Amino acid sequence: MAKKGIYDKFMMWKSSHNNDRAFLLFVCFLVGIATALAAYVLKLIIHYIQLFLTNSFNPAEANYLYLLYPTIGILLAGLYVKFIVKDDISHGVTKILFSISQRKSRIKPHNMYSSLIASSITIGLGGSVGAEAPIVLTGSAIGSNLGRYFKLDQRKLMLLVGCGAAGAIAGIFKAPIAGILFVIEVLLLDLTLSSILPLLITSITATVVSYVLTGYDAMFAFSQVDAFSLNRIPWVIALGIFCGFVSLYLTRVTAWIEDIFHNLSSVKKYLFGATMLSILIFFFPPLFGEGYNSIEMLLDSGDRYKEIMDKSFFYSLKNEWGLVVFLTLTMLFKVFAMSATNGGGGTGGVFAPTLFIGCIMGFLFAYVLNLLNIAPHLPQDNFALYGMAGVMAGVMHAPLTGTFLIAELTGGYDLFLPLMIVASISYGTIIIFEKHNIYAIRLAKKGELITHNKDKAVLTFLNIEQLLETNIPTLTKSMNLGETVKIISTSNRNIFPVVTDKGVLVGLVYLNDIRNIMFRPELYERFKVEKFMVGATVKINIHMPMEQVMNIFEDTKAWNLPVVDDNEVYKGIISQSTVFNAYRDVLVKNYSDSEV
């Protein structure tokens, strides 16, 4: 009771002071702190689990525990999700897109912690996925639920969902600009200038908290040894094209494997995923966990990259071309390992695998060209960075995010030009073949994707029940023309639903259809409604999204349509004019730059 009293007093104080803008910024500040702490806890748990499990491994021989750890990890994570959470928490960014599109930015409270727990178990025991998508979902859930707790309106809820995602990216990568760009390019519907300040506050707060907890060093220490020169631009362009096709490979293969898992039972999913994952990690140990240790090796300007074959079955093949084959197979199989982890019951995202594949792609590109001597010497560490930016830009359809994230992750700000070239060309390449990014493609298949389109975005604010006209009188088939005229005279509408005794819609009567007989009293007893009504061939289900409703209006050229529930019971009439008026009101209210 005491807590409720304090809360009520606070809400009364907030209402009396009525400074919504300042309060929203304060909530954004809280979201920044909470998301950074969540990111720190997740990374810490993963690090110590992996250190405990693999620190004693012999680098010069195969380690058979690689066959066991991942299977235990995805089993425990799957059991936790199925029996404790009892909800689907996979594909974190996709769930955020769905909540924005279909659920009015409402994310369930358990997502503030469930993804964090499941992903730490999955990745700590070797699941070949990333922690970023789960922490982005966690951050967005924190923003959504804080907004609901303080009873903010839907537009501010949507903004706080974006703020939570930006804070998560900023906190886990120490990359505030990339966090904001990720929201703009991947998540939110449309941003106005007034939305930038809340995003900035959340991102900066999360980054500062991350600095306090983990220090000022970039996530991947990178020393600029070999400066970029213009004579390398043709090779940078070629790398961008390669990155585009690698991004397409990652996107298409992931979707293909997900479809295979989708058709399996829970037990078969686990057995298939666990077997595939453990075998792949046994032969290719860099696939164990997120793969950030391998990225650090490849970004080192010295010979540390040769250590990447340690602890592997192929340790005895440690030579130049053996490394090329090993890295190529590792890069190609990373997609299978990632999909097996999630498909088998684990929880994780595509962020880290994208960086991992991009890093190997860029390194291999330069390494092979240097071995063959068909290009001027290309710095392998620099090209590994370019590859990370390129594959991320292609997979996520986010060239700015890819460019700035890699620059902030490594401190490689001197390489902005080649990073931008590779990211832009990779994005331009994949967009020819794949219209949606890896997150949106799942929703696009179901027709549930509404992003980056202001018209569609505004429609998500509209609700059929709020737009229904329920005061139109109804008719029954047994009524005669006289009774019908009497009822029609009390209304100013020209469409009248015909229903059964149980309210089921069976037809419609249009005023224009009976205008020639309604003023002839001698016909009042002769004609029944059943004679002059027309069938309701097109109906709107009350649960339909507004975008689908507008598509039906467009296809049928109708101005009024009846609305029914799942049992065909009549609920009311919806008209285009009502929708347009509501659309205009929402557009003015929610997309005005004068508001926050």
How many residues does the structure list for the chain? Answer: 596
pLDDT at 395 over 60: yes
| Top-ranked range on mean pLDDT: pick from 99-108, 267-276, 573-582 | 267-276
Q: Which of 42-51, 67-76, 148-157, 586-595 has the lowest mean pLDDT?
A: 586-595
Whole-angstrom Cα distance, residue 322 to residue 319?
5
What is the arithmetic mean of pLDDT over 420-433? Answer: 96
Q: Kind and range of the H or E element at 506?
A: strand 505-510
Q: 334-373 pLDDT, tens per residue?
A: 999 999 999 998 888 888 999 999 999 999 999 999 999 8
Q: Give the tokens for residue 300.
A: 């080192």
Q: Could you give the 3-state DSSP secondary structure of residue 206? A: helix
Q: Residue 595: what pLDDT?
A: 40
What is the arithmetic mean of pLDDT over 265-294? Answer: 90
Whole-angstrom Cα distance, residue 291 to residue 284?
11
435 phi, psi to nearest 5 deg:
-75, -30
Spatial strand order of the sheet with 570-575 comes to 540-541, 560-564, 570-575
Of 229, 221, 280, 250, nearest to 361 (Cα)? 250
Task: Report the CATH number of the 457-590 domain.
Answer: 3.10.580.10
Confidence of residue 592 (pLDDT cuts 50, 70, 90): very low
Topology alike, domains 230-454 and 457-590: no
Of 157, 343, 350, nearest to 267 (Cα)? 343
Q: Could you give the 3-state DSSP secondary structure of residue 191? A: coil
Q: Residue 40: what pLDDT?
A: 93
Q: 514-538 pLDDT, tens per residue?
A: 888 888 888 888 888 888 888 887 8
Confidence of residue 1 (pLDDT cuts 50, 70, 90): very low
Q: Residue 442: what pLDDT?
A: 67
**Angle between the N-to-C axes of helices 546-556 and 576-590, in degrees from 0 to 180, rounded to the nearest 10:** 140
Q: Give the tokens for residue 548.
A: 């689908």
Q: Give the tokens for residue 233.
A: 């631009």
**Domain ranges (residues) in the chain:** 15-214, 230-454, 457-590
Q: What is the mean pLDDT of the chain?
A: 84
- DSSP states of 81-145 as a string? IIIII-S---SHHHHHHHHHHHSTT---GGGGTHHHHHHHHHHHTT-SSBSHHHHHHHHHHHHHH
Q: Kind and range of the H or E element at 496?
A: strand 495-499
Beta-bridge partners for 475: 498
Question: Which residues in 562-582 are b (16+ Cβ under 10 Å) and which e?
Answer: bbbeeebebbbbbbbebbeeb
Q: Which of 103-107, 235-239, 279-283, 573-577 has the lowest mean pLDDT?
A: 103-107
Whole-angstrom Cα distance, residue 125 to residue 292?
15
pLDDT at 2 over 80: no
Whole-angstrom Cα distance, residue 92 to residue 118?
12
Task: Report the CATH number of the 15-214 domain.
Answer: 1.10.3080.10
Q: 76-91 pLDDT, tens per residue?
A: 998 998 889 888 776 6
Whole-angstrom Cα distance, residue 226 to residue 147?
48
Q: Residue 564: what pLDDT?
A: 92
Pairing type for strands 560-564 and 540-541 reads parallel
- DSSP states of 10-22 as a string? HHHHHHHH--HHH
Q: 553-566 pLDDT, tens per residue?
A: 888 888 888 999 98
- In percent, the amount of the chain with pLDDT more than 70 equals 85
Distance of alpha carbon 46 from the chain centroid:
23
Q: 109-121 pLDDT, tens per residue?
A: 888 999 899 999 9
Confidence of residue 463 (pLDDT cuts 50, 70, 90): confident
Alpha carbon distances (Å) from 388 to 168, 255, 360, 443? 20, 21, 8, 26
Q: Residue 167: what pLDDT?
A: 94
Distance of alpha carbon 534 from the chain centroid:
44
Q: Give the tokens for residue 38.
A: 């969540």
Q: Residue 546: what pLDDT?
A: 79
pLDDT at 478 over 80: yes
Confidence of residue 151 (pLDDT cuts 50, 70, 90): confident
pTM of the model: 0.75
Whole-angstrom Cα distance, residue 180 to residue 295?
24
| Amino acid identity for residue 553 in this structure | F
Q: Residue 586: what pLDDT?
A: 66
What is the arithmetic mean of pLDDT over 59-86? Answer: 83
pLDDT at 596 over 60: no
Q: Kind and range of the H or E element at 546?
A: helix 546-556
Q: Give the tokens for residue 375.
A: 């290009």
Whole-angstrom Cα distance, residue 91 to residue 162?
16
What is the arithmetic mean of pLDDT over 368-395? Answer: 91
What is the arithmetic mean of pLDDT over 224-230? Answer: 70
Neighbouring C-beta atoms of residue 273, cutoff 10 Å: 28
What phi-psi label fits residue 503: left (phi over 0), alpha (psi between -120 and 50 degrees) or beta? left
Q: Residue 224: what pLDDT?
A: 62
To which residue do tokens 């009549």 refer? 570
pLDDT at 178 over 70: yes
Of 524, 498, 502, 528, nearest to 510 (Cα)? 498
Beta-bridge partners for 570: 564
pLDDT at 230 over 70: yes
Pairing type for strands 570-575 and 560-564 reads antiparallel
- DSSP states of 283-334 as a string? H-GGGSTT-HHHHHHHH-SSSGGGGGGTTSTTGGG-SHHHHHHHHHHHHHHH
pLDDT at 45 over 50: yes
Q: What is the dihedral of CA 110, 113, 119, 120, to 10 degrees?
A: -150
Q: Kind and range of the H or E element at 22?
A: helix 20-54
Taking the alpha carbons of 322, 323, 324, 327 in that order, is the dihedral positive or negative?
positive
What is the arithmetic mean of pLDDT over 58-70? Answer: 73
What is the CATH T-level fold of the domain 230-454, as seen in this structure?
A: Clc chloride channel (1.10.3080)
569 phi, psi to nearest 5 deg:
-75, 130
Whole-angstrom Cα distance, residue 370 to residue 383?
12
Question: How many angstroms separate the first and last alpha carbons of the chain?
Answer: 33
HSE, side-chain direction, 13 A CA sphere, residue 335: 22
